[in-house]
Structure 1
Amino acid sequence: MLPSPAGYLAPRDTTSPTDEFLKLVSNPFSSQLTSKSVLVALGTSLGVSFAIALLFCLLRPYNTIVYAPRLRHADQKHAPPPMGKGLFAWIKPILTTKEDALVEQIGLDATIFLRFTKMCRNIFLVLSAVGCAILIPVNVVGGHGMYKQWDHSINGLMKMTPQYMFGSIFWAFVACAYAIDIVICYFLWRNYRAVLRLRRTYFDSPEYQSSLHARTLMVTDIPKSLRSDEGLVKITDDLTTTPEIPRAAIARNVKDLPDLIEEHENAVIDLEKVLAKYLKNPNKPPAKRPLCKPSKNDPDHPNKKEKVDAIDYLTTRITRLEVKIREVRESVDKRDAMPYGFASYESIDSAHSVAYLARSKHPQGTTVRLAPKPNDLIWKNLPLDLKTRRWRRLINNLWIALLTVLWIVPNALIAVFLTNLSNLGLVWSGFKTQLETNPNFWAIVQGVASPAITSLFYFFLPSIFRRLSIKAGDVTKTSRERHVIHQLYAFFVFNNLIVFSLFSALWQFVASVVNETKTTNKPIMQAFQDNHPLVNIMLALCNVSPFWITWLLQRNLGAAIDLAQVANLAWGSFSRKFLSPTPREMIKWTAPPPFDYASYYNYFLFYTTVTLCFATLQPVVLLVTALYFIIDAYWKKYLLMYVFITKTESGGLFWRVLFNRVLFAALISNCVVALLVAARGNRWPMLSAMIPLPLLLLGFKFYCSSAFDDSMKYFTKGESKGPEAATPIDKESRRRDRVGVRFGHPALYRKLTVPMVHQKSQHLLGEIYRGRLDSDADGMNSSGYSDVYSMKRMSRDRPGKPASTPAPFEIISEQKLDFENYKDRPEFSEEFGGDGEVYGKPSDLIRPDTPSSFMTGSGDRGRSLSRESDRTYTTEDVPGHIYPTGYHSTPSALREYSPSPDGRKYEGADMTISRTESNPYQLRDESALLHGAAPMGEHTPVLNQTSGSEEGGEYDYFRGRKA
């Protein structure tokens, strides 16, 4: 809690600005917080938190879009329990929903997050009893004689610190160090076993058993001589020979296709924003058309500074990018194999047994591991070789270290000046005049500037670390998030704990040493010893401890604001009223937001580390942190059950990161106790008694790793599961896995984004858009003299029915501005649904359909012979996903069919495609973004179509050419 504005702005007598600056930096905590200040902070924190929670209770029943989006959109299996309209109707489901039900509803990652929160709550409740029963009485009674003799005005908080004690009484702190480690290790061990049980249950779940990634291996760093399907099988056979021959698929080079798709998506979003702003008032559009500068990546516009008509330019650029994307998809070189691939087994046991044997081996110089879910992969990093990845990781660590060190200066200046603007006035006479002239204004600025700057920096910090981790070569989003947790935690502990707490002590100590060497000509080592560095550090930590109490008390305010979703509610209302949101943005506002595990875990770990650091210095901090976790454990449970979704489910793989950081926090606590006994206690006997502590923590870590980690990671380690083992899925189903398709690069099948326009502006599109709005996409109506020119364009989704949307835009009515209508579309579900499991459509089980046109829904079935037919055809009838021409693996004896030039029947990348004399045209993965796009000079003839009839042939919804 910060001092009052009046206290900030009180003038001081100063000497020179330089001397005053050095004085302020050397002791930024000169005005200590009193016990009364902490009580005020406690009352304010609890009072405001209660008020915000009450506001949440009032708003929740009438705004389910913000406070219960999961309840609106999740399928029956993953939907949380229904809630009533009462003010406190949300409390009962939170209290009664057990952990096993949570795993089904919110996933294993969210369940382990809640378990970790409860573990922190239990740890600090037990340690609070230890601190209050042992340390507070020891500190108060042990230091009574000293502070009574020295200074009667010492406040109550400082009496609870050990800075007034000497001698053998510090044996109590050594005993508490053992107690802290025992309590932490007990709860970690207990929860490690619980996480193992959850992981084994996760392995046995029907979703995991039927998923493809569970029995698939990912092989990276493949040498050129083995970059084929047969090479992948040889690599796995070098590890062990299994009764099953894996179905392998080597990856293919997608060239610059991902970059083109990203540019296309950016152009679509830019066009939507331009149209939303220009057509904000459809009845009275602006007289001047919007302008923009050409994209830096657009070769058709060499002059990037010249502004052009935004609508015309962006629609033209979208069309050109679509043509380029189609051309690249058609030209993927079948001979250009990449250094990674996937091999799928018929049973999970075989895949995990091979992965277990490969955990410390590198056959043929490759790395073999269990394949993650396809949506978890960072595709652009998979081709990187081991040498490149190591070099990038080194550069990444250097950048993070540089950022961490550079933040020391602004962090210190913010702590000294922005939190107290009167300090800035002491070194800047002109600013001091402004402070005295407008004290109320600068008091407001002071209350906003420091938290705004720090919050803004910490808001972007996770994104910065994510980008750096991707640059470093992380191959999965899960590993990227684990590295972000590690980097954020290291940054916070170094800058916000160590530097912030010890900066003044170190500055004062160095200044004293330099002064003594100059004035008394003492040797540096003698001056160093005379200034008692350990005592100075201990006193500095004791003096700063009240600040951390008030800081942790204020965390309850952040938890309450998070529960009330104040930011989302305020931003949505503000944007709708004062800005010009696009239909896409309004749809996203109604979607369940993804939960940022990296940020939340970092904050919880940082709170834990701060508390354990100051547990023996100021035991009250244990009570404050226990209070925080008691409250937030239930609030976060509500948020994960009803508001947030897990974007990329890892199956609980964050646990080891958390385990290691908590052990590190316990080690820091031991180091603080060692500092205390070395500064004021019987140094060597007490330090000798503490030597086993770090060894015990290290031994505990290795014990848990050897006892639990392999069982948590692998379904089996090669041993037989016995007669009770579940019967694997039949081989006919395994034959249709199509590994090369489901683990194919998304750029090959990803459906292109279409500009969305609100229905209220539909009547103006013909006036503002200078291209064709209602021409046939296949070029049949490209001429005004055609016999069918006056006929209405037919719907691509419903044959025989007129199209309802004028291309190249997708018209969105007011009633459709809800995520419920778009949660099956990859462009929305990838960001707000992860792999789609929450909505009953996990992509690992059913791959999204190959895109046909921008009006086609994503779907999870293969395309049937007739769009109106209710029949779902098998892989042999119609392939659900068809790669561009050329994307087929080399012939393999392991397949039932090999690529055949006559085209009668072949299989590439585990995908069967039939071509007969009656259907000589090969379907290709193309996406006709613009219905009004000019014809490419050739088109696929329309075959005989009979709705609902299997014999009627198939309507070719794709533009193509004869094979």
Structure 2
Amino acid sequence: MNIQLTSKSVLVALATSLGVSALIALAFCFLRPFNSVVYAPRLRFADAKHKPPELGPSPLAWIGPLAMKEDVLVEKIGLDATIFLRFTNMCRNIFLVLSLVGCGILIPVNVVGGKQMYNTSGWSVEGLMKMTPQYMYGGIFWAFVGCAYAFNTVVMYFLWRNYKAVTRLRRAYLDSPEYQTSLSSRTLMVTDIPKSLRTDEGIVRITDDLKTTPEVPRAAIGRNVKDLPNMIEEHEEIVMKLEKVLAKYLKNPNKLPATRPTCKPSKKDEAYVDKNTKVDAIEYLAKRIERLEREIRTVRESVDRRDAMPYGFASYESIESAHSLAYLAKRKHPQGTTIRLAPRPNDIIWKNLPLDPKTRRWRRLINNVWITLLTLAWMAPNALIAVFLTNLSNLGNVWHGFKTQLEQNPNFWAVVQGVASPAITSLFYYLLPSIFRRLSIQAGDVTKTSRERHVINKLYSFFVFNNLLVFSLFSALWAFIGGVIEKTNKENKSVMDAFQELHPLVNTLVALCSVSPFWITWLLQRNLGAAIDLAQVANLAWGSFRRKFGSPTPRDFITQTAPPPFDYASYYNYFLFYSTVTLAFAPIQPVVLLVTALYFCIDAYWKKYLLMYVFVTKTESGGLFWRVLFNRMLFTAFFSNLVVVLMVVSHGDPYRWQMLAAMIPLPLMLLGFKIYCKRTFDDQLAFYTKGESHKGVEAALPVDKESRRRDRVGVRFGNPALYKKLIVPMVHEKSQHLLAELYKGRLHDDGQDVSGYSDVYAMKRMSHERPGKAAPAAAAATAPFEIVKETELDFENFKDRPEFSEEHGGGGEAYGRSADVIRPGTPGSLSQFGGSERGRSESRDSERTYAEDVGVQYPKGYHSTPSALREYSPSPERGHRGFENVPVAGAGQYGLYQVRDETALLGGAAPMGRGTPYERGTPGEDGEAGEYFRGRQF
């Protein structure tokens, strides 16, 4: 019964997987031309450079553009997405080749080698079980040893080939105009700075301890923003909560609910003593937003009086200088600091930068404890699924009523075992990534890229241990315990005698052969998941449900039309886990190789469409995921070798020890290959140069020293909490006339800008329709809210706003607004965020000094008001930029924009007070290079 049920389950899984996947893919072909919001958002919003080819209206028009070459893909979708597709294609090629090797050798060996045993014994064995090695013993297992060498060789060959290709793509990325003109490409991030060196000047001294470069770096020490990020985060949460309250209450403006919405005051709100009394939600949330805005403004105005932080940045005029210093600093810690290449500003997790090494180590320890507890907690339900749902006959053995049902309705329970069991296992996958992201941030990761790499590591470790080892071995353990109980009860033997007679290793291999059909059905269902992903079924269903039955806010409508970010950590983990399961069970059940090869053949094609037309990369790492993938694939090959070891030990007599000795070189091969690739490729992946001259596109991109002097390192690599624009509640236009009745507080613009430092700090609100003219009273009356028209509920109208583009395009990179690219001729007052920019003194080093008793002291002229934080003041001699769309102070936070002339507005304004900058002397002029400076001696 068990074998027949298993075979039927595999057939059911095959039929449902291929049949339903084909139907979903066919539905996608006909739905795609009529819904570009879901099926081609990148085509709608990307700029000319990143825009994929146009798609025709025919159902199969999407197939042709997928032939795009890899070099063009890098430009269109980015290096991370291109490497993801290359990794998918690599997995496809690996399993296609292994299918030929594994199925061509192992299936005939298993069928022929086991035939004598089950024919002699008179056993009825179906075809699927005949392909397993459980009926063989002796020297025939030399074939598995040989296949282990073949598997390792195939995996290493494709890894080596793709390592070379990834290195080529990475070098082209480093030579690209985007990287060459970015500020982060020539900036170093310095952490763990001691108190005595927490100044701009101190950062220069630290870098000079490593190497003296021809140019003095522009340094910027970090500012202590204390609770400002938490206040801004709380402000955003309250704004969105107010939006939801208003959207629900104003769903039908012509027929409002009888009672106004209420809520309980926040526990963080000190203005309310009784936190259990319900208050009017609209009045309370609006007033709390106002109070938070005032508090944020107060903190921002006083932030420069606080102590400096133990991190900072140093920017050089040439990429070679920054990368050569980063290469020298790989294993050195001058003054106890850590120096590395600076990530992009939008990649930094700012709240973790101030953490000291001791705190990071402690947090990592706590993080590992939580992950261990989560892993152990999942073992119990995982074991129950492994024992009963993968093999329903086990449940029948302990539940006689169910056994009767199983015998009476075998076809129905075959469907349950083949479909429901793998589906339940997959449900847990969707929760883990978010859990591990939170844990990685708590552990002290300083960049989103490193956080995602650690999430891949944690997810993969969790899946391999819990969903593969525990899942498979518990099934084996249950079968072994059942055998011991049967012998002790029926044959009256002791537990020890029964244990010895059953041979634990032999029964473990037999149990693994029995559970292998489950993994075939599970892998078959991955095709169904890939089809659902292509058709964006979840987005279609959830969007339709929310519009019809929910009360979506204008912000919800806008984000729903935006390109969704691609979850690299989850997808990479899935592919790695599929590969590990396949290679682990390939010696036991070679059919899994064919199933996985089929999956990657289909999904490699579908994922290419999704990355070209649907998804965007939220934070571009420049291909830094590759080494994580490489290491996990090597582990996968090693794990497959361990399975062959188990087979040899349990069934290899009398040649067991000879076979084991022959397998000793296998892990050494993998280790040696790892060391070779590390020494050959890793430095090329990480550094533009290790110190020698690098001739790339520098000749075509000459250094613009004037623009380099306007880099504004302190602003571009400043904590966004200092200048991030505060979001404002969005209200649909149909409810605009009710705002005066709903909210009795401030309904006019008070002329104050709490969204950041601005050159137009107290200007009146300007008209959006009539540039240069003041906004009418009706517009001013909606000052605390942003009114959004029905025709504007589309991401196209908001893709230039950081609050939307940061989540759906990496800070606007896909839309031609990269925050990290230096554009020559850009005035110093224009920030990468579209508003005015406040930095620090134009001098290369601040004149702040450190004293143990009072902390950081600032010289006279270093003011703390927003108007004093200007690094450059626009003036006529800087040139005329014409007109720019920039946010208006006091109104920009409400989404109202005006057109103004940046240079004419504050022409001739004086720069902030500063000290005389110093310059480093050249060798032989002021003594030893790096030790003496004009006007200052260290």
Shorter-chain TM-score tier: 0.7 to 0.9
Q: 473, 477, 487: which one pairs with 2:458? A: 487
Find the aligned partners of 1:435 and 1:143 in 2 and give their Cα distance: 29
Q: 751, 767, 773: which one pairs with 2:725? A: 751
Q: 1:778 to 1:165 in 2, by over 3 A?
A: closer
Find the aligned partners of 2:572 and 2:423 in 1 and give their Cα distance: 22
Q: 1:245 to 1:906 in 2, by over 3 A?
A: farther
Match of 2:666 in 1: 693
Task: State the SS of the aligned residue for 1:737.
Answer: coil
Of the structure 1 ranges 232-241 and 724-733, higher mean CA displacement relative to structure 2 is found in 724-733
Q: 673, 678, 683: which one pairs with 2:656? A: 683
**CA contact 1:332–1:887 (8 Å) conserved in 2:** no
Are residues 1:662 and 2:662 paired? no
Match of 1:672 in 2: 643
**CA contact 2:191–2:338 (8 Å) conserved in 1:** yes
Q: 1:153 to 1:107 in 2, by over 3 A?
A: same
Q: 1:906 to 1:61 in 2, by over 3 A?
A: closer
Q: 1:49 to 1:397 in 2, by over 3 A?
A: same
Q: 1:164 to 1:644 in 2, by over 3 A?
A: same
Q: Within 5 Å, give how 1:764-779 maps onto structure 2.
A: 764-774=738-748, 776-777=750-751
Task: State the SS of the aligned residue for 2:603.
Answer: helix
Q: 52, 70, 73: which one pairs with 2:42? A: 70
Q: 1:912 to 1:474 in 2, by over 3 A?
A: same
Match of 2:837 in 1: 881
Match of 1:272 in 2: 243
Match of 1:626 in 2: 597
Task: State the SS of the aligned residue for 2:314.
Answer: strand
Of the structure 1 ranges 455-464 and 636-645, higher mean CA displacement relative to structure 2 is found in 455-464
Of the structure 1 ranges 206-215 and 440-449, higher mean CA displacement relative to structure 2 is found in 440-449
* Count of matched residue pairs: 868
Q: 14, 21, 44: which one pairs with 1:42? A: 14
Find the aligned partners of 1:671 and 1:178 in 2 and give their Cα distance: 12
Task: State the SS of the aligned residue for 2:311.
Answer: strand
Find the aligned partners of 1:61 and 1:723 in 2 and give their Cα distance: 43
AA of the residue aligned to 1:56: F
Q: 701, 719, 726: which one pairs with 2:692? A: 719
Find the aligned partners of 1:578 and 1:590 in 2 and give their Cα distance: 18
Q: 706, 710, 729: which one pairs with 2:679? A: 706
AA of the residue aligned to 1:881: E
Are residues 1:186 and 2:160 paired? no
**CA contact 1:879–1:913 (8 Å) conserved in 2:** no
Match of 2:795 in 1: 819
**CA contact 2:418–2:521 (8 Å) conserved in 1:** no
**CA contact 1:863–1:879 (8 Å) conserved in 2:** no
> How far off is 1:521 after superposition?
9.1
Find the aligned partners of 1:676 and 1:103 in 2 and give their Cα distance: 44
CA displacement 1:876-913 (0-9 Å, x = unmatched): xx9941159999973189xxxx9652989999999335
Q: 1:429 to 1:624 in 2, by over 3 A?
A: closer
Q: 1:951 to 1:752 in 2, by over 3 A?
A: closer
Task: State the SS of the aligned residue for 2:309.
Answer: strand
**CA contact 1:326–1:927 (8 Å) conserved in 2:** no
Q: 752, 762, 775: which one pairs with 2:736? A: 762
Q: Within 5 Å, give how 1:232-243 maps onto structure 2.
A: 232-243=203-214
**CA contact 1:774–1:931 (8 Å) conserved in 2:** no
AA of the residue aligned to 1:747: A
Task: State the SS of the aligned residue for 2:303.
Answer: coil
Q: 607, 610, 615: which one pairs with 1:644? A: 615
Q: 777, 783, 787: which one pairs with 1:807? A: 783
> How far off is 1:531 after superposition?
3.2
Find the aligned partners of 1:444 and 1:580 in 2 and give their Cα distance: 39
TM-score (norm 1): 0.84
AA of the residue aligned to 2:514: N
> How far off is 1:504 after superposition?
2.4
Task: State the SS of the aligned residue for 1:754.
Answer: coil
Of the structure 1 ranges 246-255 and 417-426, higher mean CA displacement relative to structure 2 is found in 417-426
AA of the residue aligned to 1:758: H
AA of the residue aligned to 2:659: M
Structure 1: state its 5+ residue gaps. Answer: 1-28, 780-791, 848-859, 865-871, 917-924, 933-944, 957-963
Are residues 1:218 and 2:218 paired? no
> How far off is 1:951 after superposition?
6.0
Q: 1:432 to 1:34 in 2, by over 3 A?
A: closer
Find the aligned partners of 2:793 and 2:534 in 1 and give their Cα distance: 25
**CA contact 2:728–2:893 (8 Å) conserved in 1:** no
AA of the residue aligned to 1:772: R
**CA contact 2:345–2:820 (8 Å) conserved in 1:** yes
Find the aligned partners of 1:443 and 1:159 in 2 and give their Cα distance: 20
AA of the residue aligned to 2:673: F
> How far off is 1:625 after superposition?
0.5
**CA contact 1:218–1:340 (8 Å) conserved in 2:** yes
Task: State the SS of the aligned residue for 1:881.
Answer: coil
Q: 1:488 to 1:951 in 2, by over 3 A?
A: closer
Task: State the SS of the aligned residue for 2:807.
Answer: helix
TM-score (norm 2): 0.86
Find the aligned partners of 1:863 and 1:315 in 2 and give their Cα distance: 35
Q: 1:722 to 1:48 in 2, by over 3 A?
A: closer
> How far off is 1:778 after superposition?
5.6
**CA contact 1:252–1:336 (8 Å) conserved in 2:** yes
Task: State the SS of the aligned residue for 1:831.
Answer: coil
**CA contact 2:506–2:651 (8 Å) conserved in 1:** yes
AA of the residue aligned to 2:24: I
Q: 1:834 to 1:529 in 2, by over 3 A?
A: same
Task: State the SS of the aligned residue for 1:341.
Answer: strand
Find the aligned partners of 2:866 and 2:251 in 1 and give their Cα distance: 53
Task: State the SS of the aligned residue for 1:331.
Answer: helix
Of the structure 1 ranges 585-594 and 832-841, higher mean CA displacement relative to structure 2 is found in 832-841
**CA contact 2:203–2:312 (8 Å) conserved in 1:** yes
Find the aligned partners of 1:203 and 1:747 in 2 and give their Cα distance: 30
AA of the residue aligned to 1:704: C
Are residues 1:263 and 2:234 paired? yes
Task: State the SS of the aligned residue for 1:720.
Answer: coil
CA displacement 1:604-628 (0-9 Å, x = unmatched): 0000000000111111110110000
> How far off is 1:286 after superposition?
0.6
Q: 861, 871, 880: which one pairs with 1:901? A: 861
Are residues 1:837 and 2:813 paired? yes
Cα RMSD over matched residues? 3.8
Structure 2: state its 5+ residue gaps. Answer: 754-763, 850-857, 877-886, 910-938
Task: State the SS of the aligned residue for 2:231.
Answer: helix
**CA contact 1:836–1:843 (8 Å) conserved in 2:** yes
Q: 1:444 to 1:502 in 2, by over 3 A?
A: closer
Q: 610, 613, 623: which one pairs with 2:581? A: 610
Match of 1:739 in 2: 713
Find the aligned partners of 1:560 and 1:931 in 2 and give their Cα distance: 42
Find the aligned partners of 2:662 and 2:394 in 1 and give their Cα distance: 45
Q: 1:772 to 1:674 in 2, by over 3 A?
A: same
Find the aligned partners of 1:715 and 1:201 in 2 and give their Cα distance: 10
**CA contact 2:193–2:311 (8 Å) conserved in 1:** yes
Q: 123, 143, 154: which one pairs with 1:172? A: 143
Are residues 1:89 and 2:61 paired? yes
Q: 1:709 to 1:413 in 2, by over 3 A?
A: same
AA of the residue aligned to 2:715: V
Match of 1:506 in 2: 477
AA of the residue aligned to 1:79: K
Find the aligned partners of 2:703 and 2:398 in 1 and give their Cα distance: 76
> How far off is 1:418 after superposition?
6.5
Identity between Structure 1 and Structure 2 (%): 69
Are residues 1:141 and 2:115 paired? no
Task: State the SS of the aligned residue for 1:241.
Answer: coil
Q: 1:429 to 1:322 in 2, by over 3 A?
A: farther
